Structure 1
């Protein structure tokens, strides 16, 4: 269905936040495999070897225009692609939440990607081309116990994706989101996925049609396609990479 010739991506430059995380590092690897130059942004300073350049920054505290200036200087040209992947969560019942927890999750997961998208998007609009992909979550569409700030942040980012697409697509900047379900990462380990809440509640029950969690590269592949020049018409969409989870109830 999709063209497999990515030879026109060799000059493209991508900025990926959360680049040392499980999904983020897989996205970096996938974009690099398509020939893009990739600048990673992460608050840990952990370099996994795939990024061409790594910037250590706290996205909540950063001046986004200065961050983009630094990133563009590192790679020598404006960005063609932005992937907002950085995210945090808390596992706290709603009645026990306090403002600092709520504000931190919303700041990282919602405010920072909006601000960075605006900073990068302005420059993309000047050049008449850009691809922005936000990593949201199935939590943006379905709530979960103990995840109130996370759920709210991802729902907000879904709608921010649609609004930016509505405003920018005619000027060459396509904006989409990829919403994973369960993914094998440091936060969702094999040990955790072996517990009854997952094996009985999702796998044995048939609630998760594919019967397993995704690997990070299975999330990275649709992200890379949406971020590529092969994507010429898809915009304003939230693509659910969830193994069919949301198809059941």
Structure 2
């Protein structure tokens, strides 16, 4: 049965691979990106998100079977949290009615194993409160300390989106409406965004010290696309609120064999 998907970040990287894989299997894809997509929109702004949701819903004739949110950046700038967090949450919330109209609605977002890295608790809490202006103010104050400090905006955005998925997935608006909502956390994915860093031995050493990947090392975008597609397929009837670390073993390496005893 042909399903209708909305894929953000569809013009490059994981989003492009995901969109093409869906199309290759016969599904309908409505891509959202700054350019080169069915819906061209700026997800760093509230107006852009709402306009993108409106146009995608119209193109889908009011019924969307799956949303896969891949759009994101990792730059040490305040806008990173606007795109990676609010560009996901506000868009998904605006698309929720069209998802709820589907017989088998699913949504999945791209988090990151960077959500395990040092981050700004204050920024994360501000994002989760829904106050974008306050969140940006915190981000800008961190960015002003220089690029090294500014990198914290990225793991903060990914920690916040992972927590949002866990929190919202079990609410009446999502689980109550039959919508499976989950996240995938990649390790180091070989995309245009990481190509320059991975091009040198020094760059690879820096990456591998932060993201150790004992299983097959750096991963292709397809490895993430396949998980995102399964999560948003009708086959996924019960997985909800999960952050799945498809990361070559980075999570297991960094957190070890016991992630349960904190609650014993």
Shorter-chain TM-score: what band?
0.7 to 0.9
Contact 1:13-1:77 at 8 Å conserved across structures: no
Partners of 2:189 and 2:247 lie apart in 1 by 9
Partners of 2:206 and 2:32 lie apart in 1 by 37
Q: How many residue pairs get matched?
A: 222
1:155 alignment partner, SS class? helix
CA RMSD of aligned residues (A): 2.4
In structure 2, list runs of 5 or more residues that go unmatched. Answer: 120-147, 255-264
Partners of 2:240 and 2:14 lie apart in 1 by 22
Partners of 1:74 and 1:219 lie apart in 2 by 26
Report how far residue 202 of structure 1 moved.
2.9
Aligned to 1:169: 175
The 1:180–1:194 alpha-carbon spacing in structure 2 relative to 1, beyond 3 Å, is same
Aligned to 2:36: 46
* 1:38-117 equivalent positions in 2, closer than 5 A: 38-43=29-34, 45-46=35-36, 54-61=38-45, 62-91=47-76, 101-102=77-78, 104-117=79-92
Identify the structure with the greater helix proportion: 2
Partners of 2:211 and 2:83 lie apart in 1 by 33
Aligned to 2:204: 198
Which segment drifts farther, 235-244 or 139-148?
139-148
Partners of 1:70 and 1:79 lie apart in 2 by 12
- Out of 236, 243, 249, the position equivalent to 2:241 is 236
Q: 1:66-99 CA deviation, whole Å, 9 max, x = no partner?
A: 42231233243421111111111224xxxxxxxx
Partners of 2:211 and 2:238 lie apart in 1 by 34
Aligned to 1:185: 191
In structure 1, list runs of 5 or more residues that go unmatched. Answer: 1-7, 48-53, 92-100
Q: 1:105-160 CA deviation, whole Å, 9 max, x = no partner?
A: 11111012110111111332355642110111111122386520011110000011
2:184 alignment partner, SS class? strand
Scaled by the length of structure 1, the TM-score of the pair is: 0.80
Aligned to 2:143: none
Contact 2:57-2:64 at 8 Å conserved across structures: yes
1:236 alignment partner, SS class? coil
- Out of 120, 141, 146, the position equivalent to 2:95 is 120
Contact 1:89-1:105 at 8 Å conserved across structures: yes
The 1:193–1:239 alpha-carbon spacing in structure 2 relative to 1, beyond 3 Å, is farther
2:175 alignment partner, SS class? helix
Contact 2:57-2:98 at 8 Å conserved across structures: no
1:41 alignment partner, SS class? strand
2:107 alignment partner, SS class? strand
Partners of 2:98 and 2:51 lie apart in 1 by 13
